[in-house]
Structure 1
Amino acid sequence: MLFAAFPASSQVITDTIPQATDSVPQVTDTVPESTDTVPPTSIDPQLLELTNARVPKEYTLGKIKITGTKYLDEQLLISISGLTPGDKLTIPGGDNFSKAINNLWRQNLFSNVQIFFTNVTDGVVDLEINVTERPRLSKFSFKGVRKSDIEELTKKSGLVKGRVVTENTKISAVQAIQKYYTEKGFQSAQVRVEEVPDPSKTNTVTVVFNVNRGAKVRINEVNFYGNQSVTELRLKKQMKGTKEMTKITIHPSDVTSTYGENTKQSFKEYLKDFGFLSITKTKEYLDPYFRFKLFSSAKFNETKYNEDKEKILQYYNSLGFRDAAIVADTHYINNRGSLNVDLKVNEGNRYYFGDITWRGNTKYSDSILNLILGIKKGDIYNAKNLNTKLGKEVTAEGGDISNLYQDDGYLFFQVDPIETAVYNDTIDYEIRLREGPQATIKNITISGNEKTKEHVIRREIRTLPGEKFSRSDLIRSNREIAQLGYFNQEKIGINPVPNPEDGTVDIQYTVEERSSDQLELSAGWGGGIGLTGTLGVSFNNFSINNIWNKKAWDPLPTGDGQKLSLRVQSNGRAYQSYNFSFTEPWLGGKKRNSLTVSLYKSVFRTGGIGSDGRYFFSDSNRLKNFGATIALGKQLKWPDDFFTLVYSLNYTQYKLINYPLFVSSFDSGVSNNVNVKFALSRNSAGPNPMFPVSGSNFLLSAQFTPPYSLFNKKIS
């Protein structure tokens, strides 16, 4: 019950909202009873007249005062209420006060709102809006959960300290917790909420979520009913997110479903059908008895389950059953505490392609289009395959009708397959084409490259101003930009912007820079050896042109797409190695001809145990290596431009001191080696170089060393 204390010199009329609910209640006009122990000595006659009025009269709103708020700005609440000094009020009968209360109530910030008349003078009414703020969240915790789950539950619950606590807030948090554990396989997780006032802070509460996860439920078996043309095992294979648990038994499940009964194949039928000659039939026979799922968690996830049902229908459609439907499905806990999933399907009839005719094609003849389409009369109906061949579903591989046209500049090309007749089990199609005009590339713009120079990106792009638009060139350009390794492959954007007025198209490329440099650092200590370690750096987007420009050092000059590598490795005095490498991928800047120069030097030493009992290394037993390589690479045009040929000339010098490296008779002196290496490679993998989804990569190399013994007879 609501009540209010009245001043001795005033009479109050209130509009109130009852407490303790989140729903919007009916607004009532009441006159609260006075609870003052001291009786009033005087009453404002104008307030009394206003209270007892029966005839509507117009008043002007005067002052507005907000009381009861602890955290909210008073002027903001007045603004939210919709009341403004100077407003005209009709009392009784007006709806200004009820609207004000509803406006404040909808904010979900208050558990009670009251409006009081505090003064009436010459037709001007002063108001007091009294609010009771809902408690705010001081802290919250989870009981009955693992420590590893607390962080995830904190994120998913959406709770924030200091915010108002409502019933909706708690319900949303409980649903998020239950969903979290349902996805982990706890189908019967229960959450109980405790809300306790926090005595350390005014009008705040502590919320405790008591979680009972229950037992983890795994999928025992998935059963299909009504499938006549497709075996149950093939349907289960389509369900990537709903897997059964491992099973080994001599008594298969005999649970009867409301959808009917699945008759299992007997051993005699298996032998009679020569099932032992087929791996698939053997799996189908053994499935009720033996099922080995090594990497399957067998958790039931509602979202993945719904996705799997769509995959089942897509699989049916690919087999020609375009009317296939899952008419009913259910999942329930069996008497062993695991989950059974039953699905009832209606396969419908299998359909086949009939006559396919073309309409609107002027560029290519029907025979050429039929050849590319690759679908003949009598083929099993497959809508997905039809859309893929037409280019309605874009693929990186291309080879479809849309790709044929768009590679020849027909940017505005459209194709629509129309069913013209369905009779018995045959479907006739008319494929309607709108070729449109050919588009020429006008402008190429690049944005997002903060460090990389524009010419580094532009030289990789296959779309050039003045040439016809080509979808294949866009796909290839995307791959080449990704292969650079300087940008986030997922954020590479290509946006063709048509200009219908002049038949041209602008192409906008957007990239997002990412760090491509590498740092290698390791260190250790070995007994008798001392300090060991490796330090290596690779700058994959280096700029040698700006090496003398101090402003470009951040920390090194970058942006020209060159590669600089430095590496030092030490194993105490036993071994030291120094490596340097520089690569210019576009020598001259006009063609993809690469130049690589590398130098390396290493020292090996052997030793023994000295008189002091410690291991030592001596310069009297050592091997020094010095090597240099220069390589020239060239992109080939035949058989295609994915091929690259690299020629390299290598020189290595060996200086030996009591170090029999080659033969025991030669342990001191100098040895030189010169060889030539040819490497032929083809790399079409992509578009992401780290995780390619198409293409291939191979390398063929040969290395030749001159026959020194023919020139120097002293060499045996």
Structure 2
Amino acid sequence: MEKQVNNLANNTLLKTIFNTLFSAFFLLFSVAATAQENPFNSGEKYTIAEIVVTGDTSFSEATIVTYSGLRKGEVIAIPGERISEALKKLWGSNLFSNIDIYLTKTIDDQAYLEISLQDLPELNTVVINGVKKGKKEALIKDNKLTKGAKVTENLITTTKNYLTNKYRKEGYYNTKVTVTTTPVIDSIEKTRVNMVVNIDKNDKVKIKEIDFIGNEKLSDKRLRKAMKNTKEKNLLRFLKRSKYVKDSYKEDLVSVIDTYKENGYRDARVTSDSIFNNEDGTLSIHVNIEEGEKYTFGKIAFVGNTIFTDQQLNSLLGLREGDTYNGVELKKRIADNSRPDALDITNLYQDRGYLFSTINPVEVSADGNVIDMEIRISEGKPAYFNNVTVVGNDKTNDRVIYRELRTRPGQLYSKTAVVRTVRELGQLGFFDAQQLSPNFKNANPNEGTLDMEYAVVEKGSSQIELQGGYGGGGFIGTLGLSFNNFAIKDIFKKEAYKPVPTGDGQSLALRLQASRFYQTYSFSFTEPWLGGERPIQFSTSLSHTKQFLYDPVKRDADKSKRFNITGITVGLAKRLTSPDDYFTLSQAVSFQHYDLKNYNTGLFTFGNGYSNNLSYTIGLSRNNTHTDPIYPTGGSSFGITAKLSLPYSLLNSVDYTALKDERALLNPFDTDDKTRMGEIDQERYKWLEFYKVKFKGDWYTNVIANKLIIKSSMELGFLGAYNNDRGVIPFERFFVGGDGLGNYSLDGRESIAMRGYPNQSLSSQDGGTIYNKFSLELRYPISLGAQAKIFALGFMEGGNSFDNFRDYNPFNLKRSAGIGLRIFMPAFGLLGIDFGHGFDPLPGLNTKNGWETHFIIGQQF
């Protein structure tokens, strides 16, 4: 098959050579024939008297003559280089299928030439058979089979090769592709053809067995495990299907030998391998191995090092005399190409500025299977950044990007600083994190300088939320606008609206949601670099909501029974320099006013009156997740916060013990007593007194080359009271269960996601005062493009909430597991769906909850 493909690929070249030689031969023959009537010497010079164009072509005579380079009145040798050059130019246009140049006659020193040619056919229509309709357009685009394309032998051959290799990589090893063309007969002068591409993928070819021959030290099972992409068929395997792909198979043979090298067999090699077709349509692979002898490390010496001592380098190398020889690990300890931030000797030098250093391990002796090594180091000059530039940003202002750079002109080169810069640019959210590229320019080892260019690809950073639906007894409309690269300084500049002022890295969000029963308005603004000099983030938000009770008689909202909440928050967050600069200290002051009128729902312990919530929040967080904030591939993120009110019970003269005792004597089923209980609670909660502590941590582990990611999470929350007689407030509570998207959350309540259970079903009616949750998530990317990031996930979770600390048991968990899908589009944010199975019963029930479907909008678990 491969030989046939190669022959087809050479057809066009052979045809070109043949036609050129034939034309030259025919020209010589014509000249010789003419010479019998008009004798002239070979190579004699003539003046071109006339050039005519004949043949089947849609191009004008003037165009063809001009493109050939020949011109009337030019003196040329016949035969000579000018005729050969004209043929080359015309063939090089890839517009013609046949080209000849004739000498028709000569009169004295005047030569009359004829250019005869035939156009290549143009593609009229293309039909692809054998694949689904939705995939045809992509195949046409990938192979450039657009209408009007010139149909050459090369186009046909490359199309067949592309499709054959594409489906072989998907496991269809016996794919057959045929391409046929049919001339179009119509009134148009151009030569056109219709193309039919038939793709017969046949069945996927699976690998029945992989046998190793000659292996005694390492088992077949161990060697098969080393083959990451070539697997035997197994019904229990889901992540790696059995299929044969030639390139992947060759890489896996290298991995087999690397496994031997990791175990000391440095001379191991594959002597031969064979692939057999079985009668059942599967393949069998036989690999012959020569293992060789096992080696150990002898003495390891460093040569040429002046910046670091032998002891420093030895501690990083981590290999000692007598250790089993491991050539793969030796290469990683010197330069681990799989991790840009690896702890290896190359990075040690490059972080000290020695970009041009070279480190080579050399075996100096191998007596008695003991290998003595020299690590030869050429340190070179330290390198300094000369110019540092950013390209690709059309919307984002340069200063927004440059303030995030960890590399500056004149600074000593540091690989860690380059890697960190790429991460910081990716975390901004304005650029496609998958396409961020640091490019070295004008590196000069002699002068010790280099230029650094960061190439970015901007993506949409603003989002719009516009939706409507029916729920809660009426229509609910939502309008939300989020601008994540806003420029407030340009808000009064008409020319800056494209459609809004952008480029300064600020965030501005507006949201309106309304129905017959509630209205919510909110506004928030964030400036990440207050003053533009230091990474101090300023944020503020305003919100107001109105909620009305349902009147069952009128079947409408009763606006005489309402609950209004108005709030404002102002915060500052500062990036710290120690313990390291991944830490952020945040502080915020917030005030909320709750106004209730005849709002007796059981949601709160009183229905008339008001409460004020003046609180101070302090938090410490650390985030070193890798580059892409939507799909982190490593690192961790954790934060601990404390939200505190003033200890009002120490400052006022209210006897909360007496109020508590009086309330305990009242009968909640007696109307007067119930009214009095509300009055007591109104007194207790005029100014909310509480403290609230939360912790959340996420850890990301890269399992397979940025493809398979494990995310493990833990979170805890506790709401307490300074004064037990005053009690825990009815606001700011935790509601566990469901998708974590809670309405009416402006009273400080927090909806904690717990998939596999209905919303807020794992907490009491008033909400829990303490909760914990643990989760493990396995993520796999489907697409990480700039327009849409899509990844699938599987999860296991456990969590619960409790009404007081006496009942708290961290091992009393409601468990669930399931699968889900996430789609992130810059214009709409994060969307997703989860199917979760709850293994435990809801509070008060005896049977497990079973399956729940959750729709996710605008947040990540």
Asked if 1:24 is matched to 2:18, the reply is yes
2:304 is matched with 360
Asked if 1:231 is matched to 2:174, the reply is no
SS at the partner of 1:154? helix
Q: For the pair shown, which has the larger CA radius of gyration, 1 or 2?
A: 1
1:220 is matched with 208
1:518 is matched with 463
TM-score by length of 2: 0.66
Q: For 1:109-258, what aligned pairs fall within 5 Å after superposition?
A: 110=96, 113=99, 118-200=104-186, 201-202=188-189, 203-247=191-235
* Separation (CA, whole Å) in 2 of partners of 1:440 and 1:54: 74
1:413 is matched with 357
What letter matches 1:491 in structure 2? Answer: L
Asked if 1:471 is matched to 2:415, the reply is yes
User: In 1, are the aligned partners of 2:550 and 2:557 still within 8 Å (CA)?
Assistant: yes
Q: How far 1:294 moved relative to its partner?
A: 3.0
Q: For 1:496-645, what aligned pairs fall within 5 Å after superposition?
A: 507-526=452-471, 528-530=473-475, 532-570=476-514, 572-610=515-553, 615-645=555-585
Deviations 1:521-558, CA, capped at 9 Å, x for gaps? 2112458413x122222222223334344444443333
SS at the partner of 2:516? coil
Q: For 1:197-346, what aligned pairs fall within 5 Å after superposition?
A: 197-200=183-186, 201-202=188-189, 203-247=191-235, 292-346=236-290
User: In 2, are the aligned partners of 1:492 and 1:511 still within 8 Å (CA)?
Assistant: yes
User: In 2, are the aligned partners of 1:156 and 1:177 still within 8 Å (CA)?
Assistant: no
User: In 2, are the aligned partners of 1:59 and 1:124 still within 8 Å (CA)?
Assistant: no
User: In 2, are the aligned partners of 1:22 and 1:166 still within 8 Å (CA)?
Assistant: no
336-345 vs 662-671, greater mean Cα deviation: 662-671
520-529 vs 616-625, greater mean Cα deviation: 520-529
2:49 is matched with 62
* Separation (CA, whole Å) in 1 of partners of 2:82 and 2:614: 98
2:428 is matched with 484
Pairing partner for 2:59 from 72, 78, 97: 72
Q: Judging changes above 3 Å, is the alpha-carbon distance between structure 1 residues 411 and 209 closer, same or farther for their aligned structure 2 residues?
A: closer
Q: Judging changes above 3 Å, is the alpha-carbon distance between structure 1 residues 394 and 141 closer, same or farther for their aligned structure 2 residues?
A: closer
* Separation (CA, whole Å) in 2 of partners of 1:469 and 1:22: 52
Q: Judging changes above 3 Å, is the alpha-carbon distance between structure 1 residues 354 and 185 closer, same or farther for their aligned structure 2 residues?
A: same
Q: How far 1:626 moved relative to its partner?
A: 1.4
What letter matches 1:563 in structure 2? Answer: S
* Separation (CA, whole Å) in 2 of partners of 1:396 and 1:228: 37
SS at the partner of 2:348? helix
Q: Judging changes above 3 Å, is the alpha-carbon distance between structure 1 residues 153 and 598 closer, same or farther for their aligned structure 2 residues?
A: closer
430-439 vs 353-362, greater mean Cα deviation: 430-439
2:844 is matched with none
Higher relative contact order (CA 8 A, sep 6+): 1
* Separation (CA, whole Å) in 2 of partners of 1:575 and 1:522: 16
Asked if 1:648 is matched to 2:588, the reply is yes
Pairing partner for 1:677 from 617, 620, 626: 617
Q: How far 1:502 moved relative to its partner?
A: 6.9
TM-score by length of 1: 0.78
SS at the partner of 2:541? strand
Q: How far 1:82 moved relative to its partner?
A: 6.6
User: In 2, are the aligned partners of 1:47 and 1:119 still within 8 Å (CA)?
Assistant: no
Q: Judging changes above 3 Å, is the alpha-carbon distance between structure 1 residues 349 and 690 closer, same or farther for their aligned structure 2 residues?
A: farther
Q: Judging changes above 3 Å, is the alpha-carbon distance between structure 1 residues 160 and 599 closer, same or farther for their aligned structure 2 residues?
A: closer
What letter matches 2:166 in structure 1? Answer: Y
Q: Judging changes above 3 Å, is the alpha-carbon distance between structure 1 residues 300 and 411 closer, same or farther for their aligned structure 2 residues?
A: closer
Q: Judging changes above 3 Å, is the alpha-carbon distance between structure 1 residues 436 and 101 closer, same or farther for their aligned structure 2 residues?
A: closer
Q: Runs of 5+ in structure 2 lacking a partner?
A: 1-13, 656-682, 685-725, 727-861
SS at the partner of 1:327? strand
Q: How far 1:156 moved relative to its partner?
A: 4.5
* Separation (CA, whole Å) in 2 of partners of 1:394 and 1:112: 52
Q: Judging changes above 3 Å, is the alpha-carbon distance between structure 1 residues 59 and 138 closer, same or farther for their aligned structure 2 residues?
A: same
SS at the partner of 1:237? helix
* Separation (CA, whole Å) in 2 of partners of 1:47 and 1:637: 88
User: In 2, are the aligned partners of 1:655 and 1:669 still within 8 Å (CA)?
Assistant: yes
User: In 2, are the aligned partners of 1:410 and 1:436 still within 8 Å (CA)?
Assistant: yes
Q: How far 1:293 moved relative to its partner?
A: 1.7
* Separation (CA, whole Å) in 1 of partners of 2:560 and 2:465: 32
User: In 2, are the aligned partners of 1:359 and 1:430 still within 8 Å (CA)?
Assistant: yes
SS at the partner of 2:53? strand
1:351 is matched with 295
Q: Judging changes above 3 Å, is the alpha-carbon distance between structure 1 residues 68 and 498 closer, same or farther for their aligned structure 2 residues?
A: closer
* Separation (CA, whole Å) in 2 of partners of 1:689 and 1:665: 41
What letter matches 2:57 in structure 1? Answer: K
620-629 vs 459-468, greater mean Cα deviation: 459-468
User: In 1, are the aligned partners of 2:341 and 2:347 still within 8 Å (CA)?
Assistant: no
SS at the partner of 2:113? strand
| Aligned alpha-carbon RMSD (Å) | 3.7
* Separation (CA, whole Å) in 1 of partners of 2:581 and 2:304: 35
2:709 is matched with none
1:262 is matched with none
User: In 2, are the aligned partners of 1:418 and 1:430 still within 8 Å (CA)?
Assistant: yes
SS at the partner of 1:317? helix
Q: How far 1:454 moved relative to its partner?
A: 3.4
Q: Judging changes above 3 Å, is the alpha-carbon distance between structure 1 residues 403 and 307 closer, same or farther for their aligned structure 2 residues?
A: closer
* Separation (CA, whole Å) in 2 of partners of 1:411 and 1:639: 27
